[in-house]
Amino acid sequence: MIDIAFLGTGGNMPLPHRFLSSLLISYKGRKILIDCGEGTQVSMRMLKWGFKSIDLILITHEHGDHILGLPGLLSTIGNSGREEPVTIIGPAGIKKIIEGLLLSIKYSPFDIQIVEVGEQTLALDFTEEGVSIREGMENDDFCDLIISTLELDHSVACLGYSLYVPRKPKFSVDKANANGVPKEIWKKLQNGKSIVYEGVYYEPGMVLEGKRRGIKISYITDTRPDDRIPSFIENSDLFICEGTYGHDEDMEKARRNKHMTFSEAAGLACRARVGELILTHFSPSLEEPGLYIENARKIFENSMVAYDRLVKSINYNER
């Protein structure tokens, strides 16, 4: 089960009923935060999901409505008793900006690791010492998370993120017995580890069979539509996309400010054959985004607008 909470769904400036961009993903007791606009920790407090288990923070870009909540949040994480490192990933140039923001934090009980990335794929494992990152492939079934990044079309360096939660191949008792694998090492092989046991070499393929599709979540903001986006988000179970402007009458604003309308986001969802589209990052002038949802649904039926503290769950068994 993966739980996704929209902590803030606004762009540019916070409103009384809407905080700025932030998304929280909870999986197996670990948490991943995407962006951290003003109001993020207030929403987290209201959700009661806790702060201590945030291991990873993904930043799309340097604009204030996506990062100005970081100093306060990191201070709160420290006050919650965390001692393990927190990893922050973002585009080129983000390290200097975050280090500047962190000057307001005089002391932190945990290390903060800042990693700048371009377009690449990373395999991540959540360990007791924090997040372990290595170059990864999407068919790596034995890591905790695979993150792919895409450079977007915004006014500054900006990344789109695709998160893939792998599902391990099915364990086959019949295959294990047929290959003469001792029961004592079944668990290690099931976890993807080869082993030499009593002088004999065994590998995971001797007890595992078939591939099982994992869960894919894609997050795209702030950007104009790009022909590379559909292949990047293709077959996502959930596509979270900016919908700064609800009506195509604002198309000129969208082009000028490097953002999207509801219909443009829906067009990407349709081309990419995603399971569901949830729109977020609304302009302050868009006080009631739900009034414009038909502009998306006429192109991609399974569309909805987010609101602060909306929680969405995805279960393997529902696939």
pLDDT tens for residues 6-21?
999 999 999 999 999 9
Residues 181, 42 within the same domain? no
* DSSP 8-state assignment for residue 168: P
Q: Is residue 82 part of a domain?
A: yes
What would the two tokens of residue 42 be? 């207030």
Residues 93, 197 within the same domain? no
- The question of whether 65 is a catalytic residue gets the answer yes
Last residue of a domain, one of 210, 240, 263: 210
Last residue of a domain, one of 181, 210, 239: 210
Burial of 312 (0-12, 13-18, 19+ CB in 10 A): middle
Distance, CA of 261 to chain centre: 22
Q: Is residue 319 part of a domain?
A: no
Residues 187, 290 within the same domain? no
Q: Is the pLDDT of residue 181 over 80?
A: yes
Residue 117: other Cβ atoms inside 10 A: 17
pLDDT at 1: 87
Average pLDDT taken over every residue of the chain: 94
Q: Is residue 295 part of a domain?
A: yes
Q: In this predicted model, what pLDDT tens digit does every residue of 246-291 receive, in sequence order?
A: 999 999 999 999 999 999 999 999 999 999 999 999 999 999 999 9
Q: In this predicted model, what pLDDT tens digit does every residue of 211-248 receive, in sequence order?
A: 888 999 999 999 999 999 999 999 999 999 999 999 99
Residues 42, 177 within the same domain? no
pLDDT at 168: 84
Give the alpha-carbon dihedral of 238, 241, 279, 35, to 10 degrees.
Answer: 100
Residues 66, 195 within the same domain? no
Residues 174, 31 within the same domain? no
Last residue of a domain, one of 148, 183, 210: 210
Residues 90, 199 within the same domain? no
Residue numbers of the domain that contains 74: 2-169+211-314
Residues 176, 220 within the same domain? no
Q: What is the rounded CA–CA span in Å between residue 188 and residue 139?
A: 19
Q: What is the rounded CA–CA span in Å between residue 252 and residue 21?
A: 23
Over residues 84-97, the mean pLDDT reads 97
Burial of 183 (0-12, 13-18, 19+ CB in 10 A): exposed
pLDDT at 109: 96
* DSSP 8-state assignment for residue 15: B
* DSSP 8-state assignment for residue 240: E
Residues 46, 144 within the same domain? yes
Distance, CA of 245 to chain centre: 23
Q: Is residue 138 part of a domain?
A: yes
Residues 262, 184 within the same domain? no
Q: What is the rounded CA–CA span in Å between residue 112 and residue 88?
A: 7
Residues 178, 308 within the same domain? no
Query: Which CATH number fits the domain that encloses residue 152?
Result: 3.60.15.10
Total structural domains in the chain?
2
| Residue of 3, 35, 55, 65 marked active site | 65
Residues 12, 117 within the same domain? yes
